[in-house]
């Protein structure tokens, strides 16, 4: 592979600087090859295969290397990756240097390259994507490529040791091992602080571990990225429910930590509050995806996680990314007819277009303008039907989307064998309610400064979904990075 890389680098060097903007704009975007839809619904393997080195170089050549001081694409990146820098290195064939460039600001590039909504962030602002005939540079695909290349051919331990600045003797506790906590931990460890992550579950990763299916984020890749943090010296304590087994005040006053970052997320599921939600076979999205992902129910040959893994009809209520994850998971578990029931129209769906497209390819059916009113069970308390109302759209509500209005007399029932409620989440209340002196808003989320992560309690910082409500992985990581910089400043000068 070294020879291949040298050849690619040599060829790219010869051509470097000779492509005009016009020539770059004529290169077609390289979409990643992926599993055939009819094959992939039979397995939990990752759907896209990723770029080859040749494809990555060709895609990198599409970047026109904008001359502005802060390129538009970087403005759209919550963690401020040097996008032009790493893409230029890919074009030259220096993939390991490109990976290191990304790692300067992003500790989890293999994850972000897979699950971040690039189309609404960096790629949305890509200059060439503003033209009608030229799609944006595939920044996320390129990030994924170099991260995977680095894992296969790079020296991870050299990378780990080269980033850490020694000499800091203060410790910081991170409450919650999800994206916000991981980003904060990585940056603080690079600064030289002692860092300990307290995680309530038996594995760190948060929504990356329990919420995102294997076919979108393979666990071996996630574990590989998490291991790098551990190799950097980040201590991990699992099965530790802060607020129950230990409090934030105890971390600050008895455990020797100089600061605490709270990144516990918004993990409390919302329910429909209709009759029959307690029936067997009706799950919250959190429970369903946790059973399948963290508890490995997808691997029926090795794990005995209780879950009904086959049947005729499975319905998911909701239209976000979590709903797409749940309905596509149901197909792979063996349900023949997997459906999305959504009370608004297709136009109002909040899921990524890519995830909707993949679901449609796989045979997921979409029933719009329907809303459930009750679940009906059999004599054994297993769900067998759902009764719904047809809806029509009225005036926009506070979200800006048209409000669904029931149509009188439009009730109908559908036979089902399983259902998932994926209509959002609320704040995880355990840490906020057990930490006196830390103010919350009316929804139970922690009040924290958007730029610094400072809460109203001295020495305590917070970021991610526990502050903003449910958002994206990369936004949580961006909040974590801001908090890490603020914690560093606080620990240096001691002024709150």
The CATH number of residue 28's host domain is: 1.10.1060.10
Instruction: Give the pLDDT of residue 159.
Output: 55
343 and 398 within one domain: yes
Asked whether the beta carbons of 421 and 284 are under 8 A apart, the reply is yes
Tell me: the pLDDT tens digits for 4-35? 344 333 344 334 457 999 999 999 999 999 99
| Number of H-type helices and E-type strands within the chain | 20, 16
Asked whether the beta carbons of 201 and 178 are under 8 A apart, the reply is no
Last residue of a domain, one of 425, 444, 467: 425
- Of 148-157, 231-240, 451-460, the one with minimum mean pLDDT is 148-157
- Of 57-61, 161-165, 272-276, 344-348, the one with minimum mean pLDDT is 161-165
Q: What angle do CA 76, 32, 13 make, to 5 degrees?
A: 75
Q: What share of the chain is helix, strand, coil (3-state, %, to 5)?
A: 40, 20, 45
Q: Tell me, what DSSP letter sits at residue 382? A: B
> At residue 158, does pLDDT exceed 60?
no
295 and 208 within one domain: no
Instruction: Give the pLDDT of residue 3.
Output: 36
Report d(CA 147, CA 435) in Å as an integer. 38
Beta-strand relationship, 402-406 and 268-269 = unpaired
Report d(CA 403, CA 59) in Å as an integer. 42
Note whether residue 278 is domain-resident: yes
Instruction: Give the pLDDT of residue 494.
Output: 81
Tell me: the pLDDT tens digits for 245-272? 999 999 999 999 999 999 999 989 999 9
Return the number of other C-beta atoms located less than 10 Å from residue 46's C-beta: 19
Asked whether the beta carbons of 375 and 277 are under 8 A apart, the reply is yes
Note whether residue 159 is domain-resident: no
* Structural domains counted in the chain: 3
Beta-strand relationship, 268-269 and 194-198 = unpaired
Report d(CA 88, CA 346) in Å as an integer. 38
Last residue of a domain, one of 374, 408, 425: 425
Last residue of a domain, one of 105, 129, 154: 154
24 and 102 within one domain: yes
Max Cα distance, the chain (Å) = 74
Report d(CA 319, CA 350) in Å as an integer. 6
Q: What is the mean pLDDT of the chain?
A: 91
Tell me: the pLDDT tens digits for 90-105? 999 999 999 999 988 8
361 and 443 within one domain: no
Record the pTM. Answer: 0.89
Instruction: Give the pLDDT of residue 12.
Output: 40
Average pLDDT of the residues in 207-220: 94
121 and 66 within one domain: yes
| CA 345 and chain centroid, separation | 25
430 band by pLDDT with thresholds 50, 70 and 90: very high
Tell me: the pLDDT tens digits for 306-344? 887 778 999 999 999 999 999 999 999 999 999 999 999
> Residue 137 corresponds to which tokens in the numbers above?
């540079």
> Residue 353 corresponds to which tokens in the numbers above?
């277009």
358 band by pLDDT with thresholds 50, 70 and 90: very high
Report d(CA 344, CA 397) in Å as an integer. 12
Q: Tell me, what DSSP letter sits at residue 203? A: S
3-state SS, residue 410: coil
3-state SS, residue 80: coil
112 and 37 within one domain: yes
Report d(CA 95, CA 147) in Å as an integer. 9
Note whether residue 338 is domain-resident: yes
Instruction: Give the pLDDT of residue 402.
Output: 87
301 band by pLDDT with thresholds 50, 70 and 90: confident
Asked whether the beta carbons of 54 and 91 are under 8 A apart, the reply is no
Report d(CA 56, CA 52) in Å as an integer. 6
pLDDT over 90, % of the chain: 81
Report d(CA 398, CA 392) in Å as an integer. 17
282 and 177 within one domain: no
343 membership: H or E segment, kind and range: none
Residues 119, 12, 6, 82, Cα dihedral to 10°: -40
Note whether residue 45 is domain-resident: yes
Q: Backbone phi, then psi, for 85, in 5-degree steps?
A: -65, -50
Closest Cα to residue 203, out of 305, 111, 290? 290
List of residues 6+ apart from 184 with CB closer than 8 A: 172, 174, 261, 263, 461, 463, 480, 481, 483, 484, 487
299 and 398 within one domain: yes
Note whether residue 77 is domain-resident: yes
Average pLDDT of the residues in 375-391: 97
3-state SS, residue 495: coil
- Domain hosting 402: range is 269-425
174 forms beta bridges with 197, 261
432 and 416 within one domain: no
338 membership: H or E segment, kind and range: strand 335-342
450 and 335 within one domain: no
1 membership: H or E segment, kind and range: none
Note whether residue 160 is domain-resident: no
Report d(CA 364, CA 351) in Å as an integer. 14
Note whether residue 138 is domain-resident: yes
Note whether residue 282 is domain-resident: yes
408 and 294 within one domain: yes
Asked whether the beta carbons of 423 and 317 are under 8 A apart, the reply is yes
Report CA-CA distances (Å) from 15 to 52, 76, 86, 97, 425.
19, 29, 17, 19, 51
Return the number of other C-beta atoms located less than 10 Å from residue 213's C-beta: 21
371 and 479 within one domain: no
Report CA-CA distances (Å) from 17 to 56, 101, 425.
17, 20, 49
Residue 303's CATH number: 3.50.50.60
> At residue 163, does pLDDT exceed 80?
no
> At residue 303, does pLDDT exceed 90?
no
């Amino acid at each position: 592979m070294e020879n291949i890389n040298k050849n690619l680098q040599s060829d790219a060097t010869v051509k470097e600087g000779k492509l005009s903007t016009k020539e770059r704009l004529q290169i077609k975007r390289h979409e990643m090859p992926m599993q055939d839809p009819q094959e992939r619904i039979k397995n939990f393997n990752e759907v896209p295969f990723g770029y080859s080195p040749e494809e990555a170089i060709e895609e990198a050549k599409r970047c026109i290397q904008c001359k502005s001081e802060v390129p538009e694409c970087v403005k759209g990146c919550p963690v401020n990756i040097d996008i032009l820098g790493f893409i230029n290195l890919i074009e030259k064939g220096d993939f390991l240097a490109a990976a290191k460039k990304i790692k300067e600001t992003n500790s989890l590039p293999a994850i972000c390259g897979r699950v971040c909504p690039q189309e609404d962030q960096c790629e949305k602002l890509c200059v060439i994507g503003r033209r009608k005939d030229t799609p944006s540079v595939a920044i996320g695909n390129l990030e994924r490529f170099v991260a995977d290349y680095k894992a296969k051919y790079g020296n991870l331990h050299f990378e780990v040791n080269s980033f850490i600045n020694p000499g800091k003797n203060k410790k910081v506790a991170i409450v919650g091992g999800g994206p916000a906590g991981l980003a904060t931990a990585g940056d603080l460890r690079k600064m030289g602080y002692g860092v300990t992550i307290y995680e309530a579950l038996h594995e760190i990763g948060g929504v990356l571990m329990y919420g995102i299916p294997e076919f979108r984020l393979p666990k071996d890749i996630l574990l590989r990225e998490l291991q790098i943090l551990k190799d950097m010296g980040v201590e991990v304590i699992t099965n530790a429910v802060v607020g129950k087994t230990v409090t934030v005040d105890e971390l600050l006053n008895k455990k020797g930590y100089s600061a605490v970052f709270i990144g516990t997320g918004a993990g409390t599921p919302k329910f429909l509050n209709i009759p029959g939600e307690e029936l067997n076979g009706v799950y919250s999205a959190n429970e369903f995806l946790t059973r399948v992902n963290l508890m490995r129910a997808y691997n029926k040959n090795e794990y005995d996680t209780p879950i009904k893994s086959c049947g005729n009809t499975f319905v998911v209520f909701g239209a976000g990314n979590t709903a797409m994850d749940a309905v596509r998971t149901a197909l792979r578990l063996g349900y023949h007819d997997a459906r999305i029931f959504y009370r608004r129209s297709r136009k109002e769906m909040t899921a990524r277009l890519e995830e909707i497209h993949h679901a449609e390819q796989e045979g997921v059916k979409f029933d719009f303008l329907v809303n459930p009113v009750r679940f009906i069970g059999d004599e054994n308390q297993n769900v067998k039907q759902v009764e719904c109302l047809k809806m029509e759209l009225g005036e926009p509500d506070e979200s800006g989307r048209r409000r669904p209005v029931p149509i009188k007399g439009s009730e109908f029932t559908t036979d089902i064998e399983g259902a998932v409620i994926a209509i959002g989440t609320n704040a995880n209340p355990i840490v906020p309610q057990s930490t006196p002196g830390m103010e919350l808003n009316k929804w139970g989320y922690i009040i924290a400064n958007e730029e610094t992560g400072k809460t109203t309690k001295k020495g305590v910082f917070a970021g991610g979904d526990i502050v903003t409500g449910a958002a994206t992985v990369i936004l949580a990581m961006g909040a974590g990075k801001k908090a890490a910089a603020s914690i560093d400043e606080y620990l240096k000068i001691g002024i709150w």
